[in-house]
Amino acid sequence: MNIHLLPRSIYLTRHGQSEYNAMGRLGGDSPLTIEGEKYAEALSEFFEKEKIADLRVWCSQKVRAAQTAKKLKPAFHTEYWKALDEIDAGICEGLTYDDIQQRYPKQAEDRARDKYHYRYPSGESYEDVVSRLEPVIMELERQANVLVVSHQAVLRCILAYFYDRTLDELPYIDIGLHSLVKLTPRAYHCDSTVYQYDVDKGEVRNFYGRRKCVNFPSVAAHAINRSGLKEDKRTRNITIYNLLGD
């Protein structure tokens, strides 16, 4: 059960497109491309129009995330969390998936077999990321309005928690570049609205409507285990409203 008395929302976005994104390379610490800069500017304009009171910004320490957050209004309080950094791909950092398949075919096979538990050599697994995100998730439960600027693997873990997804589903949750997810916790569920950057109009718009995710798992209702997520499969009732609406 959500114990907040006043409405509050959690916003999740990946950084703008980075140079490594454009080349299909994993990890690294490359800066934003021109397209990534445009998204960061559109994101800033979106939040200026929304006029959200006391919005706090939590950002990864990676350059691409920091560059995205720096476009936001200076009045927003920004904190940089190492826990929000992208999954460490170890020896595969900077490689493309084709590179990994050619150089480390056994690693590619192991990852495909069990993506959640697979750990990159000298790097991390999704299970490791969930573990380091536990304090972040606990704080998200306590805070008011927060924008998290982070990375694909990290946001998959956070969304899996709020969407009550299983560990098998977690690594496949869709969170594309230049999209923004708004989570609004209710008493026993969490409303979700997905926005996408409109390249033609240069603005962030609501393309995917509002979704009602039932069985919202609150820390107040149950303690998260070491994995941070429950492994049981519950029946979920997700309804989409106002598709393509503003």
Q: What does the DSSP assignment read for 43-66?
A: HHHHHHHHT-TT-EEEEESSHHHH
Contacts of 15 (CB under 8 A, 6+ apart): 32, 36, 40, 60, 62, 64, 65, 67, 68, 149, 150, 151
Length of the chain: 246
Please report, in range form, the residues annotated as the binding site for substrate.
Answer: 14-21, 64
- Residue showing tokens 């519950």: 234
Catalytic residue among 86, 124, 127, 141: 86
Helices 34-50 + 63-70 axis angle, to 10:
40
User: Choosing from 15, 124, 134, 178, which is the catalytic residue?
Assistant: 15
Q: How, if at all, do strands 10-14 and 146-150 pair?
A: parallel
Integer CA distances (angstroms), 72 to 42, 65, 147, 150, 181, in order: 9, 12, 11, 14, 17
Residue listed under structure tokens 């989570």 = 183
- Mark the binding-site residues, compressed into ranges: 14-21, 64
| Relative orientation angle of helices 126-142 and 152-163, to the nearest 10 degrees | 60
4 is catalytic: no
Q: What are phi and psi of 85, to 5 degrees?
A: -65, 155
Assess whether 86 carries a catalytic annotation: yes
CA distance 59 to 78: 7
Residues that are catalytic: 15, 86
